[in-house]
Amino acid sequence: MAHDTTHRSPAPTIARVAVTLTVNGVDHRLDLDPRVTLLDALRDGLGLTGTKKGCDQGACGACTVMADGKRVLSCLTLAAQCEGRAITTVEGLAADGVLHPVQEAFVRHDAFQCGYCTSGQIMSAVCLLAEGRAGSDAEIREFMSGNLCRCGAYPNIVKAIREVRDRMGTGDRDA
């Protein structure tokens, strides 16, 4: 058996980039590989583990956060792309120890079982309500369809969103 005598070059070094992320109202300066996703920067770089890594392919919604008030899948978003944007994670929703109304409604309606998808569901629900897309239950289900729940808590998730929608006094109502 012949030995491979070809010379292999070492893997090229990837230059790191300095990125300042504004997360939950606080600026964080990170030195990152430019290929690092926002999800990994949040979890590994900042220790914010409320955002979950589900499929790591953008198909389940467990990693949903807000960037400038809009839903983004943090597993598909590079951290470096988020410089200058206001990032909000589930940890940033509560204010002074008081849960966000959507968080309260999820607890009240038992809108979770194992809890793995809950942070992504809550972040999407907050955005859905802000977007004014929480009209009928069918619309809620449609606009939440990017967030999967393997446990099947969907009916209670819809009830929680409907409750907050009704309390806010917006959207159509259906039972």
Q: What are the structural domains, with CATH classification, of the chain?
A: 17-92 (3.10.20.30), 101-168 (1.10.150.120)
Predicted TM-score (pTM) of the model is 0.88
What pLDDT does 4 receive?
A: 63
Q: Compute the distance between CA of residue 103 and CA of residue 84 in angstroms, rounded to an integer.
A: 27
What pLDDT does 3 receive?
A: 64
Over its C-alpha atoms, the chain yields an Rg (Å, rounded) of: 20
DSSP assignments along 102-147, one per residue: HHHHHHHTT--SS-TTHHHHHHHHHHHHHHT--SSHHHHHHHTTTS
Give tens-digit pLDDT for 78-131.
999 999 999 999 999 999 999 999 999 999 999 999 999 999 999 999 999 999
Picking from 28, 26, 52, 30, the residue whose alpha carbon sits closest to that of residue 39 is 52
Beta bridge partners of 41: none
Residue 169 binned pLDDT confidence (cut-offs 50, 70, 90): confident
Does 131 or 2 have the greater pLDDT score?
Answer: 131
Give tens-digit pLDDT for 49-65.
999 999 999 999 999 99
Q: Compute the distance between CA of residue 142 and CA of residue 128 in angstroms, rounded to an integer.
A: 10
**Does 15 have pLDDT greater than 50?**
yes
What pLDDT does 11 receive?
A: 76
